[in-house]
Structure 1
Amino acid sequence: MTADREAALPPLFSPDEMARRRRALDEVLEAHGLTHVVLHGANRSGSAVQWLTGWPVTREALVVHSHGSTGVPDTLLVNFYNHVPQARRVAADADVRWAGSRTHETMLQELARRGALGGGVGVVGALPMIGHDTLRGAADRVLDLSGAYTRLRLRKSPEELAWLRRAAELTDLSCAAMRDGARPGSTEHELGALVEGAYLPLGGTSYIHYFSITSMAEPAQCVPSQWPSARRLHAGDVVSCELSTSWGVDYPGQLLRTFTVGAEPTAQYAELHAVADEALARVEAVLAPGVAPAEVVEAASVIEEAGFTTVDDLVHGLGGGYLPPVFGSRSRTLEPLPTTTFEAGMTVVVQPNVTTPDGTAGVQTGELLQVTDGGCARLHSFPRGMGRIA
């Protein structure tokens, strides 16, 4: 690939990495006695399509994949029609076509061409009801492989880890830009502009950036909001943020931090953050291959011992989706704790976002970590502890 052509494309994985993924999917098919699988995504959601072909889903995309032993390349069906040219450049190993006005009918035609309708077909992703009904009416067996696909995403390859490190660098830059550029009078909208302005010129893409602004003297918000407001910063406020910048759309960093505005933290916020820091340190000390979620919850129990609680998940996987294991702290465990243990190669967000029981005050701290053979490692380098704006 020439330098000019590389510059004209979004970030791409190597041919060896893409071949590894196809082999991994073939092993899933073999385990379930299948030869063919459909992968679906729509409205910029559906990570399996990009994982297998390199094409980030826009309006709608569907992949028909057959076991490598068939010798048939993947077919990528793309809507809208004007998205097809770039999809062909990005998904160079696939047969890329327009999905037509009825994607489910085009899917069925492709499966019939491959001789897939006389047996079973796997599905990954949220295939619309009309597509699901069409497939059920034509195939002998339809099997949901979304869970099996998710398990393929838990442990990251060396190339994926390199992308996540780059995403973490860009996320760190975005947080520094917010910290250094914000002033009393800045709105949440302007905080978002500072964040995005740090990574867009460098090729990063937006994943999330959530903010909470409230008075330390009279707090009324304990966690960031998902939609920004025109609320302005004032001296004496506290700002919490959850920032994620992606490299290649599906590979984000994640950084959670808290800043006071033009003032020292009040006693309440100093205590909240001290407890959060201690919980983060204790979780990091135990996080390693073979460790169960229950051990992590116990390590973070300093939160409840201090009389506080949490509102968000304590730990969740990230990188290729919001991945298992997902669980809260002891006082916020909404479901039974998962029994799956951590493995080397997983990337997880540890975020002891400590709040008061009444939900009026809270802090954000934490970040994306890599589980390694010897424990865990930071992917971010942004300073820890409570920061200061203005």
Structure 2
Amino acid sequence: MLGIGGEEYARRQQAMRRLAARSGLRGVVAWSRGGSAQDRYADVYYLTGFYQHQPFVPDVPGRWRAQGHAAVLLPVEGPALLLTDASAVQEPRPAARLRTARDLVDALAERIRALPPGRIGLIGCEVMAAPWWRRLHSVIPGHELVGADDLGWQARRRKSPAELDLLRAAGALGRQAMAAARQAATPGATEAEVAAAAIAEITRAGGAYYGMGVSSGAESHTFAASGPAPYRADRRLAAGDLFRIDLYGSVHGYLFDLARSWVVGAEPTTEQRRLLDAVRESVQAGIEMLRPGRRIGEVARRCQEVFERSAFAAHHGMSGFDGVWGHGLGLSFEPPWVEQDGPSAGERLEAGMCLALECRISMPSVGGAGYEDDVIVTDSGPEPVTAPALHTLHAER
């Protein structure tokens, strides 16, 4: 049965205690957002298996604060405590003691004050609003709250066997959803109808829809519609349109993230074929480089070399490309970033990592296209989970 068991959560918490102790911390606080959006939920979920679906609502002094969030306090010595505003929790139960609080900030401060004075690491800094941070600092004398997001990234870099199985299941679901989108993308259909087909496939299989970017025709060089919906219900596809979709969702919290582009109801023109070939072939060249010990900068360089040799680049150069070839993948879009230069370029790949390699081109005069696949790094080589096996990659169109 797919999922993460209680023993693995216990190992994760113990590993985090060790990381915190080595950093001179008394413990860590993981702070995460809820609301069914899958944005910034991963730190609490990774340690406890708990997700808060209550959406954020503004604070009301004296009634509640930080609604729609959750926190885990994990001392170096002592049990994990999960704080949430949820009054009842379904099975499976979180892998921590559970306490309900209307004011999450003051409840967390009370628990921190019970610890010996010292530094407490905060994992999830970008999710904690400035007023909450200031309030915490003002009511925990003798304690210092310091940023510790690097500990979270370090803990989640290499995936366990159970996590890898979930990423494989997510990749398979992503492929199914993309196939449903492609089948729905016929002349006369709207962008919204294509999106609905993909979303229905995800939810029908028990996955969670996270998001997408859709564009087509004259707007295919953009990522998505500018309104709250990332697709348009008033945009009907025509034969010969370029259609581009970047789709992401999850199985038990573990993501798939893939992008495809194609021509609707017609064979590609020469210019469209150059564009589609360039994004696909450069990514596939990078996939073949995803092996333990390889430096991430080498992977990016290989992608770049293949793109530069493409017929598209010969006619248009590198215009419309930002130089980033992908990112880590797990419970979120995460480090390392796949680029030739930058903080991740010198890092070496390890078995158990998962990366999403991608290329996206946006040229108003030509159109736009994207191609992205998720790949697990194994001791025997790359394992694509959103694409066919390596020996058939180059045949895919």
Note the 1:310-321 alignment, pairs <5 A. 310-311=321-322, 313-321=324-332
Secondary structure, aligned partner of 2:21:
helix
Contact 1:269-1:362 at 8 Å conserved across structures: no
When residues 93 and 292 of structure 1 are mapped into structure 2, their CA distance, relative to the original with a 3 A threshold, is: closer
Q: Which of 27, 41, 48 is equivalent to 1:46? A: 41
Amino acid at match of 1:346: M
Q: Does 1:125 align with 2:129?
A: no
1:234 aligns with 2:238: yes
Q: Give the aligned CA root-mean-square deviation in angstroms.
A: 2.5
Alignment correspondent of 2:62: none
1:1-390 equivalences in 2 (<5 Å): 12-44=3-35, 45-58=40-53, 59-67=68-76, 69-70=77-78, 72=79, 74-79=80-85, 83-86=86-89, 89-100=91-102, 102-112=103-113, 115-116=114-115, 118-126=117-125, 127-137=128-138, 138=140, 139-214=142-217, 219-225=218-224, 227-230=230-233, 231-248=235-252, 250-300=253-303, 301-305=305-309, 306=313, 307-309=317-319, 310-311=321-322, 313-328=324-339, 338-356=345-363, 360-381=366-387
Q: Tell me the secondary structure at the aligned position of residue 223 of structure 2.
A: coil
Can you list the C-alpha shifts for 1:343-371, whole angstroms capped at 9, x where unaligned? 21110011122444x66422222210011
1:221-276, Cα deviation, whole Å (9 max, x unpaired):
3243162122111111111111122001x311122111211110010111112222
In the TM superposition, residue 49 of structure 1 has moved relative to its aligned partner by: 0.5
* Cα pair distance change 1:336/1:48, threshold 3 Å: closer
Q: Within 2, Cα distance between the matches of 1:149 and 1:28?
A: 9
- Which secondary structure state, in structure 2, belongs to the residue aligned with residue 325 of structure 1? strand
Distance 2:369 2:395 in 1: 9
> Residue by residue, what CA displacement relative to the aligned partner does 1:31-63 show, whole Å, maximum 9, x if unpaired?
112232211112443311111111113311111
Q: Deviations over 1:279-304 (max 9, x none)?
A: 12321222222222321222122323
Q: Quote the Cα distance in structure 1 between the aligned partners of 2:29 and 2:369.
A: 42
Distance in 2 between residues matched to 1:203 and 1:285, nearest whole Å: 31
- 1:355 touches 1:361 (CA, 8 Å); kept in 2? yes
The question of whether the paired residues in 2 share the 8 Å contact of 1:316 and 1:325 is answered with yes
1:128–1:277 distance in 2 versus 1, CA, 3 Å: closer
CA pair 283-353 structure 1, distance change in 2 beyond 3 A: same
Distance 1:327 1:372 in 2: 18
1:13 counterpart letter in structure 2: I
Ranges in structure 1 where 5+ consecutive residues have no aligned partner: 1-5
Aligned partners of 1:175, 1:386: CA distance in 2, in Å?
Answer: 18
Q: Cα–Cα, structure 1 residues 38 and 261, in superposed 2: closer, same or farther, change >3 Å? A: same
Q: What SS is found at the alignment partner of 1:84?
A: coil
Distance, in Å, in 2 between the alignment partners of 1:365 and 1:352 is 6
The residue matched to 1:253 in structure 2 has which SS?
strand
Residues matched between the structures, number: 359
Shift of 1:220: 4.3
Tell me: CA distance 1:92–1:296, structure 2 relative to 1, closer, same or farther (3 Å): closer
After superposition, the C-alpha distances for 1:148-199 in whole angstroms (9 at most, x for unaligned) are: 1111111111000111111111111111111123322211211111001112
Aligned-partner SS, 1:377? strand
**TM-score normalised by the chain length of structure 1:** 0.84
TM-aligned CA distance change 1:241 to 1:387, over 3 Å? farther
Q: Is the 8 A contact 1:213 1:239 kept in 2?
A: yes
Once the two structures are TM-superposed, the CA of residue 384 in structure 1 deviates from its matched residue by: 5.8
Please name the residue that 1:3 is paired with. none
Which amino acid letter does the alignment assign opposite residue 78 of structure 1?
Answer: T
Contact residue 220 and residue 242 of structure 2 kept, 8 A: no
* Cα distance change of structure 1 residues 123 and 359 upon mapping to structure 2, 3 Å threshold: farther
Percent identity, please: 26
Q: Aligned equivalents of 1:186 and 1:76: distance in 2?
A: 46
Q: Report deviation, 1:135.
A: 3.3
- Give the secondary-structure state (helix, strand or coil) at the position aligned to 2:44: helix
- Tell me, yes or no, if the aligned pair for 1:84 and 1:98 is still in contact at 8 Å: yes
Aligned residues of 1:315 and 1:326 also touching (Cα < 8 A) = yes
Aligned equivalents of 2:396, 2:295: Cα separation in 1: 32
TM-score (norm: length of structure 2)? 0.83
- Contact map agreement 2:209 2:249 (CA 8 A) in 1: yes
